[in-house]
Structure 1
Amino acid sequence: EIPIEDFFQKAKAFESENKSAPIESDLDQVLSDIESGELDADRFGPIAEEDDILYFDGGQDSTKIKPVFADEFEYREYSPKSSDTTFAPDYEKLKEQITNDFEDYLLPPVELLRKSREKSEAEPEWVKQNIDVINQTLLSFDIDGEVTNYTKGPTVTRYEVSLGAGVQTKRITAIADNIQMSLSALSLRIEAPIPGKNTIGIEVPNQVRESVFFGAVVDHPQFLMSDDPLMLAVGLDIDANPVYTSIETMPHGLVAGSTQSGKSVCIASIIASILLKNNPNQVRLMLIDPKKVDLQQFADIPHLVTPIIDEVKKAVEALKWAVSEMERRYEVLKRFRSVNVKDYYSRRAQDSDFELMPRLVIIVEEASDLLISGGVDVEESILKLTQKSRAVGIHLLLATQRPSADILKGSIKANIPTRFAFRVPSSIDSSVVLDTTGAEKLLGKGDMLLSENGLIRRLQGAYLSPEEIEEITTFIKKQAYPQYLFTHNSLIEAAKTAELTAELDELFPEVARFVVKEDKCSLNKITQEFGIGFNRATQIVGSLEVYGIVSPNAGTKPREVLIGYERLEEILGKLK
């Protein structure tokens, strides 16, 4: 026990021993260290590692805790972007071609194509033998004439016969079969007389046929240096000279020939000629291929206005689009007071509201089948295009295996002055294509007759292999991708609308306005108001339902009117 007086004495003594001066001195020292920026790192003494743990759960190591995500969340570890940009530059480059109007677009070089071998200048022995046989045949029929010249082409040789005074040319044509028999020739064609000459031409197939490659025809200054964007490399004539023609001067063409005659290769060479000279802003193509094989090698090129069409319904709507585009272009030329596309580009290219008007070439394979299947709509569209589209830069090429007179009518042929005739089965077919005989005697495989405004000449069409076509299209596709003006889906929708419009009753607009006015759709009222039968009224109401004017049938409940006057007039306006 300690007396209370002793307790207070000891407490007073302890207070006197522990004065506050050292604490104040320590505080002064800390303040001075803060001002000078010098603080001891260990001024608070050693700190245990466990003090760093703010949350601790059951002794589990916090570094092993993994995130948990909801089931619909897809967890992906972060990974830095690869520096490999192999595909990106190509994609960006393709996009740039669209934005810079193809300023950097490169035309396919002719080096991608095969060339013909050099020809021998020596005169073959069989040429001399044929000259002797022809002279001997003329002598045996007592015809005063002889072979005075010949021209050796890649496929046939033309022997020129000079007749004596007073000898009729019909005497030569009358013995054509005898001359062919004497020569043991596969076929024989007589041109009496040769245009521009005073001799008769007898065309006989060569014993050794020479190949004519497309690359040899296009690799010529006349083609490469031409400013005509629609110049075509066709082949070699009988004098072995390259032959070119222009779609712009055609302005439409007909290509006819049976199987293995060279028709499809000719179409391919026409398309290739266009691709070699034009970027997609200069010429656009519409390809219609019901056979689904001939033109598919040109799929996805940037020159196409729509993917290659291989169905009749789509083809019908595509040709209707071409007609509407023709009318739209005429409105543009009218606004700019231009005569045609050439005049439009030459005089109006610097105008502020100038718009590009690329040439449009429409190529139709198996046109006869399309005319049969498409009926009046196809015939009407083709007729309008052939009559009016030249001035606005739209051109049509029709290809067919069956040049029948009841299909290719005179009204269509009258506006297609340029004809490419390959071998056909009969002289009647030849007359349909050329308005004269001769195509039935061709040899096939590119042997052709080209008729331009009535002038006919024999050519050997240039051969373009599928491998060369692939080289050209691959070169083009690496630079740009297609920007279609319309798709197949839009054509299908247009076809459906056309079908519905064709099936509409002539009273449809009046009944529709009556129903909207009454705000009620009653079959009895419609039959009484318009004096029609119940079946016809039912069909009209069904059409009202298709166009969303009235609600579907709900049993005994009356149909509801779903739209007002403004919406109704919009629908009726589209049907006109």
Structure 2
Amino acid sequence: MPYKPGRTPFLPKAAIAGLKTASVQVLGGLLLLGAGLLAVALATYASSDPSFNTASDGPIRNALGRTGALVADLGLQGFGLGTWIPVLGFGALGLRMFLGRRISLLPLRIVALVVAMVSLCGAFDLVPAPSSWRAGSSLGGWTGALAHDLLARLFESLSSGGTGGALTGLATGLLVPFVLCLLALPGALALLWSLGLLRGLAVVLGALERRRQRTAARAPADRRPAARRRAVPVFTGPELPPVVLPPGTEAAHPAPEPPAPPRIIPVTPRRPAPEPPPFLQAPEPDPAPGLSPFSGPAPDTHPPVTLIVADSARPARAPLVPLPSLNLLRASPFAGPGTPAEAETKQALAESCERLRQALADFGVSGTVSDARRGPVVTFYVFTPAEGTNPSRVRGLADDIARRMDVPHARVASYEGFSWLGIELANPDPQECRLYDILSRKAFQGHEGMVPLVLGRDVCGAPVVEDLTRMPFYLVAGTEGTGKTTALAAVLLSLVYRLTPRDARFLVIDTGRRSLAAFDGIPHLVTPVITDTAAGLNALKWLLREMEHRYTLMNTLSVRTIEQYNLKVREAHASGNPLRRKIQTGFSETGAPIFESQTIDSTPLGYLVVVIDEIAEMMAQSPDTVETAFERLAAVSRALGIHVIASTGQVNARTLTPRLQALFTHRGCFRTANKLDSRFMVTTNGAERLPSPGEMLFFHAGVPTERIHAPHVTADEIRRVCDFLRDQAPPSYIPDVTAEAEMDPVPAPAPPRDPRAPTLGQPVIRAQIDPLYDRAVEVVVRSGRVSQFLLQKQLRIGAPRASAIIRRMEQEGLVSAPNLAGKRSVIAGKR
């Protein structure tokens, strides 16, 4: 109670000061006691003690009993090693209070303590957890993972080249001395020291940014260093059917006598389960004889179609090219079911199941290994842990399991809705996944999709084939040297083994000038392989014009999809009646509308597949053009038969903007530089720990992520297949695909002209001229270029009518004849 004149205090001033000092000392002692008890609970933590994550009836090893075990488990799971920050902070504050020292800036010190705890958790999250760590899968706990992601996004502009993790660790590490100085130094000195540390951090970050910019400016794009490879497991996988333990099976620690080896038998589930995918089903037997020269789909099932031809600037018809033979590819010695090695494989699986169960039991994890499948690269085990076992404990033992099983790497994955875990161990003699093995199987030959896309094999060796028409956009990403370009080449080869040039045409943009340039000259291409970024952007503009053209054709027949359009065209061919439409061409002298019947070009439409290798180059030059083109295509591409397959080696928000990321609902992610990039691509960790090139995670929105071994094709195989296609027929290119196409605003209506006045060219008979011919001439002369699309846009007419007007201008000498590239020049203005 403060002293006021006129009032007599109840206690003397000396007594009041003594009580205040004693209360501060008691509070300091309580803080010291609390910090000591927390330190004891953390120091004696045992993962087998009962807690919120573990149910156990065994003895409690924590020195503070059940309460200490609960507090230690909650702290280490939530904050990891950062839980020791309150021990040090409250201990230091309590000691100063107990010794009677004055404490300044107490609110700032408490805030600094919280900041230090969160930042140190983020720093510990960068450090790989050792095998002795049993409290979760990260040294920073849940808080560390959240703090690391937040700081990594803060330094995202410097994250290229692997510096984001280093900068995040530097930022979090500098916060620890900041807090320690606030706890131990006087207020003024603590603030000065903190400002100096922050200033030093800004200097270091600025120097690193300038160095990165100088390095990027000196080094060419194709000679940048590849990201560091990390041969560690990944923790995601495809969905599997449930496996339930047989009745009477008890999960317990191993007895002194080892039990009998487990039998691989079918088990009846306790509840209805979804239809099992081909992930755990045995792959189909070897292909039937007589499939060496692949025959492709039956003519009545997939009738040949071609790109629409509406004017003289388009080829009359795509060449009829036979499908290449499978003998041009090389097979791999993968032994599937039904081979002589099947009995030996089952015996080896039974022995490895027992070894795996024993290894897990030695690490304190009890359970049953109830199923196993051997694939070309890894062997998949179904492990059902005992009740009360935290799955994160098993995931944290992946490296230990790999060492005990004498394999290079291991992977542990949990699956939503199922109580068992999937454990993948690398095979001692991995088989190479070849494209021949997938193309020769029923999964590809009997695929019902119109545009089947070969992705590779799953962990059990079953082929993974998707229908591109259902995607319709597919993105492949990963660091340099992980197999992105090889995967794109395998995708293109799988398409040419199923589709002829009359079925589908390709638009290939290879700005990186890699292996896709080998496809130049095949008859499937609409234009030579594009290696220039500016030409690639012009090709995207042509793609939009092609989209508008197809949309107009479908509107004339009142259909919504390419399949319905082709069905009507085939019905017209079968009946012998050409397709016609009635259009209004103008008005008569009396004001009555004039109609004419026009024949519709009844050529079926074919699929158009756009393949872009390294989309980052185009995004860096003109991001708005790429985003706008893809957004317009995504709205109608599935119905119009236009699909996009792209790849990139730069996984960041500048290359894959949220607008693009939302369009690519199907993504194949190879190894990434860090787990932030992995989450950015497939919404989960794991891609940064893929062990070898050719391994990828396949993401589809709403479907569990699946690990796939992408097929490998050599440059010699690509050359042989492309040489075969070039020998069958020359390419039929479409002109003006890469030409610059700019649209001018719609001009004002032209004033009426005297019918007796001649036009800018030679005199012609007015009865044979289109009513809009004079306006078309003015548009061409004013713009200085001849473009069919320009006339369509400004005069609001169709493609056939615009083409007829241009041919009339050529006859009158207003424009020149088309050159080898299909371009015309204006002659009228030069006279």
**Shorter-chain TM-score category?**
0.5 to 0.7
Native 8 Å contact 1:260 1:444 kept in 2: no
Match of 2:433 in 1: 212
| CA contact 1:232–1:273 (8 Å) conserved in 2 | yes
Q: Does 1:404 align with 2:625?
A: no
Q: Distance in 2 between matches of 1:99 and 1:492?
A: 21
CA contact (8 A) 2:569 2:603 kept: no
- Find the aligned partners of 1:99 and 1:566 in 2 and give their Cα distance: 28
Relative to structure 1, the CA distance from residue 239 to residue 565 in structure 2 (aligned partners, 3 Å threshold; closer, same or farther) is closer
Please give the secondary structure, in 2, of the residue aligned with 1:414: helix
Classify 1:310/1:136 alpha carbon distance in 2 versus 1 (closer, same or farther; 3 Å): same
SS at match of 1:234: strand
Describe the SS at the equivalent of 1:430: helix
**Residue in 1 that maps onto 2:516:** 295
Partner of 1:147: 369
Q: Which amino acid aligns with 1:478?
A: D
Q: Secondary structure at the match of 2:518?
A: helix
Distance 1:252 1:135, change over 3 A: same
SS of equivalent to 1:279: coil
Of residues 112, 119, 123 in structure 1, which corresponds to 2:328? 112
- Residue aligning to 2:817: none
Task: Please give the residue correspondences for 1:432-451 in structure 2 after superposition, counting only pairs within 5 Å.
Answer: 432-451=680-699
Instruction: For 2:668 and 2:618, locate their aligned partners in 1 and report how far apart those are by CA, in whole Å.
Output: 19
- 1:258 matched to 2:479: yes
2:371 is matched by which residue type in structure 1?
Answer: N
Deviation for aligned residue 1:229: 3.4
Q: 1:386 Cα shift? A: 2.7
Question: What is the CA distance between 1:156 and its match in structure 2?
Answer: 1.4
Q: Retained in 2: the 8 A contact 1:148–1:161? A: yes
Give 1:373's aligned residue. Answer: 621
2:666 corresponding residue in structure 1: 418
The structure, 1 or 2, with the larger RCO (C-alpha pairs under 8 Å, 6+ apart) is 1
Give SS of 1:281's match.
coil
Aligned to 1:304: 525
Structure 1 residues without counterparts, runs of 5 or longer: 1-97, 514-563
C-alpha contact (below 8 Å) 2:483/2:693 kept by paired residues: yes
Q: Please, what is the CA RMSD of the aligned residues? A: 3.1
Q: How many residues align?
A: 414
Structure 2 SS opposite 1:115: coil
Alignment of 1:84-95 (within 5 A): none
Q: Please state how far the C-alpha of 1:355 moved relative to its aligned partner.
A: 2.7
Encode CA deviations 1:442-466: one digit per residue, 9 max, x unaligned. Answer: 2223222222333322222222222
Give the deviation of 1:171 after TM superposition. Answer: 3.0
Residue 124 (structure 1) shift: 9.0
SS in 2 for 1:349: helix
Distance 1:293 1:430 in 2: 25
Task: Assess if the C-alpha contact under 8 Å between 1:372 and 1:407 holds in 2.
Answer: yes
1:552-576, Cα deviation, whole Å (9 max, x unpaired): xxxxxxxxxxxx9766665697898
- SS in structure 1 of the partner of residue 681 of structure 2: helix
- TM-score norm. by structure 1 comes to 0.66
Q: In structure 1, what is the equivalent of residue 535 of structure 2? A: 314
Structure 2 match to 1:191:
413
- Which amino acid in 1 is paired with 2:475? L
Residue 707 of structure 2 corresponds to residue 458 of structure 1:
yes
Alignment counterpart, residue 286 of structure 1, candidates 503, 507, 513 = 507
Alpha-carbon spacing, 1:227–1:566, altered in 2? closer, same or farther (3 Å) = closer
Matched, 1:480 2:729: yes
Aligned to 2:105: none
1:317 to partner: Cα distance: 0.7
Task: State the partner residue of 1:533.
Answer: none
| CA–CA distance in structure 2, aligned partners of residues 137 and 450 of structure 1 | 30
Partner Cα separation in structure 1 for residue 365 and residue 444 of structure 2 = 44
**CA–CA separation in structure 1 for the residues paired with 2:346 and 2:690:** 22
Aligned partners of 1:371 and 1:407 also within 8 Å: yes
Residue 217 (structure 1) shift = 0.9
1:196-238 CA-to-partner distances (Å, cap 9, x unmatched) read: 7542012222221101211111012332244533112222222
Give the one of 246, 254, 260 matched to 2:467: 246
Equivalent pair of 2:378/2:460 in contact (CA under 8 Å): no
Q: Partner of 2:76 in structure 1? A: none
Q: Distance in 2 between matches of 1:492 and 1:331?
A: 22
Q: 2:549 aligns with which of 324, 328, 334?
A: 328
Paired amino acid for 1:365 = D
In structure 2, do the counterparts of structure 1 residues 221 and 125 end up closer, same or farther at CA, with 3 Å as the change threshold? closer
Q: SS of the counterpart of 2:698?
A: strand
Shift of 1:409: 1.7
Distance 1:433 1:108, change over 3 A: same
Letter in 2 for 1:433: M
Q: Is the Cα contact below 8 Å between 1:313 and 1:492 reproduced in 2? A: no
**Other structure's SS at 1:210 match:** coil
8 Å contact kept, 2:407–2:426: yes
- What does 1:159-170 correspond to in 2, within 5 Å? 159-170=381-392
Residue type matched to 2:440 in 1? D
The one-letter amino acid paired with 2:662 is: A
In 1, Cα distance between the equivalents of 2:564 and 2:609? 19
Residue 380 of structure 2 aligns with which residue?
A: 158
CA contact (8 A) 2:399 2:409 kept: no
| Structure 1 residue 277: Cα displacement | 1.3
Superposition deviation, residue 397 in structure 1:
0.8
Alignment TM-score, normalising by the size of structure 2: 0.46
Aligned mates of 1:388, 1:257 — CA distance in 2: 28
Report how far residue 108 of structure 1 moved: 0.8
The answer (yes or no) to whether the contact 1:161–1:201 under 8 Å persists in 2 is yes
* 8 A contact 2:697–2:707 mirrored in 1: yes
| 1:347 counterpart residue number | 568
**C-alpha deviation, 1:246, in angstroms:** 1.2
What residue is the counterpart of 2:610 in the other structure? Answer: 362
**In the superposition, relative to structure 1, how do residues 431 and 337 fare at CA in structure 2: closer, same or farther (>3 Å)?**
same
Matches within 5 A, 1:506-517: none
> Measured at CA, do residues 281 and 444 of structure 1 come closer, stay the same or move farther in structure 2, by a change above 3 Å?
same
Residue aligned with 1:297, SS: helix
**SS state of the match for residue 339, structure 1?**
coil
Check 1:566–1:200 CA distance in 2 against 1; reply closer, same or farther (3 A cut): closer
Deviates more, 1:281-290 or 1:109-118: 109-118
The secondary structure found in structure 1 opposite 2:371 is: strand
Gaps of 5+ in 2: 1-314, 336-340, 573-577, 579-599, 751-776, 795-831
Provide the secondary structure at the position in 2 that maps to 1:363: strand
Q: CA deviation at 1:394?
A: 0.2
Q: Is the 8 A contact 1:451 1:457 kept in 2?
A: yes
Measure how far apart 1:315 and its partner are: 0.6
1:117, distance to aligned residue in structure 2 (A): 1.8
Which one-letter code corresponds to 1:262 in the other structure? G
Residue range with higher mean Cα deviation, 283-292 or 409-418: 409-418
Aligned to 2:394: 172
Helix, strand or coil at the partner of 2:610: strand
**Residue type of the alignment partner of 1:458:** R
Whichever of the two has the greater Rg, that structure is 1
What is the identity, as a one-letter code, of the residue corresponding to 1:467? D
C-alpha contact 1:230 1:246 (8 A) present in aligned 2: yes
Give per-residue Cα distances to partners, 1:420-449, cap 9 Å, x unaligned: 122222211211221111212222232222
Change (3 A) 1:493 1:387: closer
Confirm or deny: 8 A CA contact 2:506 2:608 kept in the other structure. yes
Letter aligned with residue 738 of structure 2: L
Cα distance between partner residues in 1 of 2:621 and 2:680: 20
Shift in alpha-carbon separation, 1:210–1:391, aligned structure 2, 3 A: same
